[in-house]
Amino acid sequence: MSRGIGLAGIVIGLIAVQSGAASSAPGQAQLAQAGRANAYSVANKCTYPIRALVHLVDPVRGWRTHGWVSLKPGEKSKGFATRNRYVYFYAESLDGTKVLNDSRDGQRNIRVGEKIYSMGRTNIGPRYRKYTKTFCR
């Protein structure tokens, strides 16, 4: 699988990348807890550590990319909140040799720094709920 080849589907506007631990916009966690937003997280069921990117709509700042989120086997990330039903996920092994991209529901190429990642789309439907994207089920 090719990673980072092609420039199709780049999101219009600036994409900010947050380094280190996962975070969500101020106030969004409270919206998710109150059932007025979707709460997304990432889980690692692989036998090796992974790092993940999460691309979603922040109601204040528009499309944002959060990551890298590093997860050991069995770990789950903190939540990300959005009111959008679509979220894009990308994960790879920490050494970069295994790409974990689920694109059954579509995909989008997202620029992060100088590299483009093909991120799989997840559509959880019109109702607000909690959702965990699990890699290596």
DSSP-derived secondary structure for 57-73: EETTTEEEEEEEEEE-T
User: Tens digits of per-residue pLDDT, 118-136?
Assistant: 999 999 888 889 999 999 9
Q: Give the three-state DSSP class for 33.
A: helix
Task: Determine, yes or no, domain membership for 7.
Answer: no
Task: Determine, yes or no, domain membership for 34.
Answer: yes
> Secondary structure of 78-92 in the HEC alphabet?
CCEEECCCEEEEEEE
The residue that leads in pLDDT, 12 or 70, is: 70
Task: Determine, yes or no, domain membership for 80.
Answer: yes
Task: Determine, yes or no, domain membership for 6.
Answer: no
Domain around 106: 17-135
Measure the CA–CA gap between 47 and 119, rounded to whole angstroms.
Answer: 22
Task: Determine, yes or no, domain membership for 125.
Answer: yes
Task: Determine, yes or no, domain membership for 102.
Answer: yes
Q: Given pLDDT bands bounded at 50, 70 and 90, which one contains residue 30?
A: low
CATH of the domain at 69: 2.60.40
pTM score:
0.73
Structure tokens at 120: 């799989």
Q: How many domains does the chain have?
A: 1
Q: Give the three-state DSSP class for 30.
A: helix
Task: Determine, yes or no, domain membership for 8.
Answer: no
Q: Taking 80 as the threshold, does the pLDDT of residue 9 lie above it?
A: no
Q: What is the mean pLDDT of residues 47-61?
A: 91
Contact residues for 15 (Cβ-Cβ < 8 A; gap 6+): 55, 63, 64, 65, 110, 111, 112
Cβ count within 10 A of residue 5: 9
Task: Determine, yes or no, domain membership for 11.
Answer: no
Beta bridge partners of 50: 71, 93
